A and B are shown apart, each in its own frame.
Chain A
Amino acid sequence: MTPYILHVGIIIILFSILSLSLNMAVGMAGLVSLGHAAFFGIGAYASGLMMLEGLPFIVCLLLSGIITSLFGLLLAIPSLRVKDDYLAIVTLGFGIITVIVLMNMGITGGPDGLTGIPQASVFGFDITSKPVYLVFCVSILAVMVLTTSRLKASKVGRAWAAIRDNDTVAMFMGINIYYYKILCMVISSFWAGIAGSLYAHYTGYINPMTFGMQTSIMILAMVVLGGIGSIPGSIIGAAALVILPELLRGLEANQGIFYGALLVAMMVLRPQGIMGRMKVTDIFARGGS
């Protein structure tokens, strides 16, 4: 396999982790987030900074997931007071603030970002070569898929589905909706942080702009395209939206037009996404309910 294909493969896996983590919130529990890339960024910066301090990669990877989930917790607590469209606005604000903070803090390197992030090794084994790193990322995605599908098929998944459907009625089932919403945000942001760490050590260089609105929307598009609430859909959606621009590269200036047109056509023809059961409008724009 050429390095180019391996590179695209690694990016697909990283975005699969991101879109599945967002789908956990949006698709499984109905918690709309427009700032998911911020968690991606927090994980990347946390990991990069710790790695520059000389901590081993595997420690940085785990810690960046945990640190990011703490931010998820911090965002979840006040956000519980709002839902639907209002939650979307809160997370949008969170995404914007995170980029501004990263842009202006000394320790994060300001707009220049962090450079020279040491590359990854696990217990002395160098995993920086592309094929090895791809295998490493795939195995992390596999762990995520396994744990997520088990959660989905357990009382946790049922509680999330009940909350997504109608959180007031969910309470009458004895479901502590605050606990389950916080839990969802914490696990979702944990995985986004892991993706951030994997990304930081892959590129060796990060800057705030990577983690802004555009990336948040991109991840959300992957979720919607792949299928809201669907685990395989999250991966298919990520793969499609990473590969598509690569295929359209030959169109140069017209690339954006075709990319946009394809997305619009997809949503018109199949509003529930490639693998999903629910339509976008089941989660978004429920207005007033």
Chain B
Amino acid sequence: MGVILKVESVHKSFMGVSALKGVDLEVEEGQILGIIGPNGAGKTTLFNVITGLIRQDSGRIYLNGEDISGTPIYSRARLGMARTFQNLEIFKDMSVLENVMSGGHLHLDSGLLECILDSKRKRQEEEDLISRAMALLRLFGIEDKADQDAFTLSYGEQRKVEIARAIATRPRVLFLDEPASGMNPRETEELDSLIKRIKEDMQLTIVLIEHDMNLVMDMCEEVVVMFEGSVLTSGSPREVHRDQRVIDAYLGRDVV
């Protein structure tokens, strides 16, 4: 098990305001890493830089040893990155099934001509994709909603669609931005065991931002605490939980 993701002194500022001030991060393969920190600490900005949504001012990002600092989003997806968004970003005009199927785009090999000619391979690939997508929906317990318009689902269910869609891209590293937000305690508990199970089944590495401390404590093997655009500390959930600097950061006292 080596380092699958490495972030090296990433800086990013927005119109003069520093959002990231030299962030370094290493993620071990197979790990569930939690990123926590008060609002405005730069957690989502860091996610956006790592997944390619925004370009860092300086610093480098390596996925599995490969420098992806300037790689476009869709190529990063091909290399094995997938993410969900803090503000749900499902495809509203598509059914639940189509949403998850769109995540399988990467793994369809038939070309334009085969699509036009409706070749045997294309039809086979579509069938396989549908059954894979249905299997994912079953796993998330929303297979009975497959044909519904995605936007008609409840907030918690839409989150599940988004996660299922991300998993359909068959990532090596999955980034979850507040997966439990908008979920009730029962749903959160479900999500907790589901994510752990998916991680084992698919040998995923998971990086997640979360405010639900119970979820973080229970799920993550390592926690990174961000504060004002830098990494404040990192360690096991237990260590971080007791760290006085972390408590200060959250409660707003001066950091020593």
Residues of A within 8 A of B (CB): 147, 150-151, 154-156, 158-159, 161-162, 164-166, 168-177, 183, 277-278, 282
Contacts and interface: CB of A to CB of B under 8 A. Distances in A.
Contacts, number: 82
A159 B78 CA distance: 15
A218 B91 CA distance: 30
A173 B105 contact: yes
Nearest to A177: B74
Interface in B36-93: 51-53, 72-74, 77-78, 82-83, 85, 89, 91-93
Nearest to A147: B116
A151 B82 contact: no
Q: Which of B73, B82, B103 has the most CB of A within 10 A?
A: B73
8 contacts: A147-B116, A154-B122, A158-B101, A168-B73, A172-B169, A173-B103, A173-B165, A174-B77
Interface stretch (B9-17, B107-115, B140-148): B107-115
B118 interface: yes
A172 B51 contact: yes
B148 to A, nearest CB: 13
B106 A174 contact: yes
A173 B93 contact: no
A166 B116 contact: no
Given A155-B105, A158-B102, A172-B74, 13 more contacts: A147-B116, A154-B126, A155-B108, A162-B91, A162-B102, A168-B53, A168-B73, A169-B91, A170-B102, A172-B166, A173-B74, A173-B103, A174-B74
B77 A150 contact: no
A171 B72 contact: yes
A164 B103 CA distance: 15
Q: Which of B92, B102, B166 has the most CB of A within 10 A?
A: B102
A173 B106 contact: yes
Given A159-B105, A162-B91, A173 B115 contact: no
Nearest to B83: A172
Nearest to A150: B118
Interface residues of B, number: 34
Contacts of A151: 115-116
A196 B109 CA distance: 34
A150 B115 CA distance: 6
Contacts of B83: 172
B106 A166 contact: no
B115 A175 contact: no
B249 interface: no
A278 B105 contact: no
A165 B105 contact: no
B110 A169 contact: no
Contacts of B94: 161-162, 165
Contacts of A174: 74, 77-78, 105-106, 169
A166 B112 CA distance: 22
B174 to A, nearest CB: 11
B135 to A, nearest CB: 18
Contact of A155 (B51, B74, B115): B115
Contacts of A165: 91-94
B87 to A, nearest CB: 11
Nearest to B112: A156
B100 to A, nearest CB: 10
Nearest to B78: A174
The 4 closest A-B pairs by CB, nearest first: A174-B77, A154-B115, A174-B106, A171-B73
Nearest to B106: A174
B210 interface: no
B98 interface: yes
